[in-house]
Structure 1
Amino acid sequence: MPELPEVETVRRGLEPAMTGQTITHAAVNRPDLRWPFPPRMAERLTGAKVIALRRRSKYILADLSTGESLLMHLGMSGRILISGVLQGDFHHDHPAPAKHDHVVLTMGNGARITFNDARRFGAMDLLDTGLGDAHPLLASIGPEPFGNGFNESYLTQRLKNRATPIKSALLDQQTVAGLGNIYVCEVLYRAGLHPARKVGDLPATIVAGLVPLIRDVLAEAIEAGGSSLRDYRQADGELGYFQHRFRVYGREGEPCTTPECTADIQRIVQSGRSSFFCPQCQR
């Protein structure tokens, strides 16, 4: 499932094509994705102007002139594609309609925004912009990792005296927004922490030190255009490249990249998810 860097990459790709533009036509080609679409979704979108495009955790929100916001979640196989406008140095012509093009937005500038989702694990909804994060999908999400609310003091207090493994604690979306399996593995490698270490056993200074590491890893991934795993693509169809920088994730049995380390990357399963780590560098 796309994590914060992938979602932020898609948001940035969509921004120049959508912000300030009117949705001249909305085609909703099925009644649902993971959950049913809201009533009269096509009618409510058509004619609305996109005021701003923002991200909350792994969700993209398009704030509309109607006072509503379009919430979009990619799920495991969702893709949001742009065609009909110049993206960087390339112009992407409108492709022929595809089988899994479930929602298609035609913008006033000629752009076409297509939500394609073969497995239909994604989601779309319309919510009252003024309600902020009160939507059920957003209400319990913790602070954004780049926001002022996510800092050393907050994280040490949040994780104090907990018996949870550090990997599970960082995956908890109520602790910090947008972190997923890939980037938690990479953060723990840089921190030198075994993913099964109990949070309560860690000194406060070690926990506090995770804050800048989390920001560094996410910022590098965003800069690289997000990671392309399975069905993920950037909004303009271009692949991301951070996966070529993975130090541990997906590298089971391969040599650790730390100079002079002689260990191979190992994998364990925690709560049904694979954790990749170096047994020598991470204790």
Structure 2
Amino acid sequence: MPELPEVETIKNTLKRFVINKTIEKVSVYWPNIIKLPDDIEQFKFLLQKQMINDVHRKGKFLLFELDDYILVSHLRMEGKYHVFQKTEPIKKHTHVVFSFTNGQELRYNDVRKFGTMHLIPKGQEFKRKPLNQLGPDPFDEQFTFAYFYEKLQKTSRFIKAALLDQTIVAGLGNIYVDETLFKARVHPMKRAHQLTADEIKRIQQAAIAVLKEAIKLGGTTVRSYVNSQGDMGMFQQRLFVYGKEGQACHTCGTEIEKMKVAGRGTHICPICQKQD
């Protein structure tokens, strides 16, 4: 699943292709992707003649800023956006097509069909689902130490589970939680409310540092989210623990282990991240 750095990379790439493009019509081939409005014909009608003025990101969500609406898109497991000329054949698993007046199309492709789209009147996007349920982005001013400390003190869940909770902090997923906890030298099965202030501060700083580096390198899983962009995220070359089970820790040489925490595959160094 694309996490914050991948969605940020997708956002930055899309901005080069879709800003100032006007939607002529919309075709929906898999209606279940459209969550709001309930009426697919209304969804298509409301988008006609709307210009894409900007593309933003909140957590793992893409926000297409239109004249009168915000289109909130979640890619889930396999969602991808590509820009094509209208004359190019539509590929298998293409479920939503935004046709522009300039002869190009923005096409949403999703093998698993798990992605979602919500069309919300501008100004209401953070008052309604799904964005109103999100915690602050790690780069938001609201993601202060005081906020983070208070949230973690209120839950007895494993810190891994707490970091995956999008209502606490938005954008972190399995890859970057594992990398964050390794960098912070915290075991993923430590109870959140039992963490010291120093440990929480290390986690906060590590999360921001890991995400910034991943964004700089284009993420870990991005390959071709926009047509003609053959770029691949390079952060996988900087991973310390995720997917490294059986390999030597870069810091101490101990073999990286894999376990299940909060139902998710979790990678740790048993020496660098000792469990008290």
TM-score by length of structure 1 reads 0.89
**Partner amino acid, structure 1, of 2:180:** V
Larger CA deviation: 150-159 vs 106-115: 106-115
**Structure 2 residue ranges without an equivalent (≥5):** none
Q: Deviations over 1:136-192 (max 9, x none)?
A: 211111011101000112111211253221111111111101111110000000011
Match in the other structure for 2:26: 26
**Partner amino acid, structure 2, of 1:46:** Q
Partners of 2:22 and 2:166 in 1: CA distance:
33
Question: How many aligned positions are there?
Answer: 270
Partners of 2:47 and 2:146 in 1: CA distance:
42
Partners of 1:195 and 1:107 in 2: CA distance:
47
1:239 aligns with 2:241: no
SS at match of 1:134: coil
* Structure 1 runs (4+) greater than 6 angstroms displaced: none
Match in the other structure for 1:87: none
Match in the other structure for 2:57: 55
**Structure 1 residue ranges without an equivalent (≥5):** 85-92
1:207 aligns with 2:207: no
SS at match of 2:33: coil
**Identical positions, percent:** 36
Native 8 Å contact 1:256 1:264 kept in 2: yes
In structure 2, relative to structure 1, the CA distance for the partners of 1:238 and 1:96 (3 Å cut) is farther
Q: What are the residue-to-residue correspondences of 1:1-283 with 2, within 5 Å?
A: 1-33=1-33, 35=35, 38-39=38-39, 40=41, 41-65=43-67, 67-84=68-85, 95-160=88-153, 162-228=155-221, 233-235=224-226, 236-258=229-251, 261-283=252-274
Partners of 1:70 and 1:36 in 2: CA distance:
10
TM-score by length of structure 2 reads 0.91
Larger CA deviation: 199-208 vs 103-112: 103-112
Native 8 Å contact 2:77 2:114 kept in 1: yes
Q: Deviations over 1:91-136 (max 9, x none)?
A: xx97421121111122344442110011101111211122131222
**Partner amino acid, structure 1, of 2:259:** I
C-alpha deviation, 1:27, in angstroms: 1.9
Cα RMSD (Å): 2.0
Partners of 2:231 and 2:101 in 1: CA distance:
24
Native 8 Å contact 1:27 1:104 kept in 2: yes
C-alpha deviation, 1:31, in angstroms: 2.0
SS at match of 1:22: strand
